[in-house]
Structure 1
Amino acid sequence: MKHIVKILSLLVAISAFWIGLLQAAIIPRSHTWLLPIYFVVSLGCYGLLMVGVGLMQFPTCPQEAVLLQKDIAEAKDFFKHKGVDVGSN
């Protein structure tokens, strides 16, 4: 629930800032109307950046890789005994 309140308060603050810019005419009106689009695009770029950073820092698990290879070998043996061709390796 706290996270929703944070998001909504941030959204209200950004909306108030945008409306303030529209009313004060500090920035030309043609640029001010594009601010929500810039905000959405920058939010998307931030999201992609966070996904990329998360993928780069994804931990490798050598123990799990060994267990997975054992499971694969066990499954291949099981299917060989059942008469299923599972490939050469």
Structure 2
Amino acid sequence: MKHIVKIMSLVVAIAAFWIGLLAASVVPRNYGWLLPIYLIVSLGCYGLLMVGVGLMRFPTYPHGARLLQKDIAEAKEFLKRRGSDVGSD
């Protein structure tokens, strides 16, 4: 519930800022109505940038990889005991 309150307060703050810009004539009317679209496009670009940076800096976890391989081997053994074909090793 707390997270939705944060999101809604952010939306209300952005809407109030946008309406304030339109009311104060800081931004011309014909450009002011495009501000929400610019905001959405900017947030999308930021999100893509963060995904790209995260992929470029993706750390490796050797301990986690060993645990995953151990779990896979245990699952294959369990399925073999049950008579399932689990493919090649």
Q: TM-score w.r.t. structure 2 length?
A: 0.65
RMSD over aligned CA atoms reads 3.0
Q: Distance in 2 between matches of 1:88 and 1:16?
A: 61
Task: Give unpaired runs (5+ residues) of structure 1.
Answer: none
Q: Partner residue of 1:84?
A: 84
Q: Distance in 1 between matches of 2:68 and 2:56?
A: 22
- Return the letter of the residue paired with 1:18: W
- Aligned pairs for 1:1-89 (under 5 A) are 4=6, 8=9, 12=13, 14-15=14-15, 17-89=17-89
Q: TM-score w.r.t. structure 1 length?
A: 0.65
Which structure: larger Rg? 1
Q: Distance in 2 between matches of 1:34 and 1:55?
A: 32
> CA 1:83–1:9 in structure 2 vs 1: closer, same or farther (change >3 Å)?
closer
- Give SS of 1:60's match: coil
Task: Give unpaired runs (5+ residues) of structure 2.
Answer: none
Equivalent pairs: percent with the same residue?
A: 65
Q: Which runs of 4+ in 1 moved over 4 A?
A: 14-17
Q: Distance in 2 between matches of 1:55 and 1:78?
A: 34
Q: Distance in 2 between matches of 1:42 and 1:8?
A: 20
> CA 1:11–1:48 in structure 2 vs 1: closer, same or farther (change >3 Å)?
farther
- Return the letter of the residue paired with 1:37: I
- Report how many aligned residue pairs link the two structures: 87
- Return the letter of the residue paired with 2:39: F
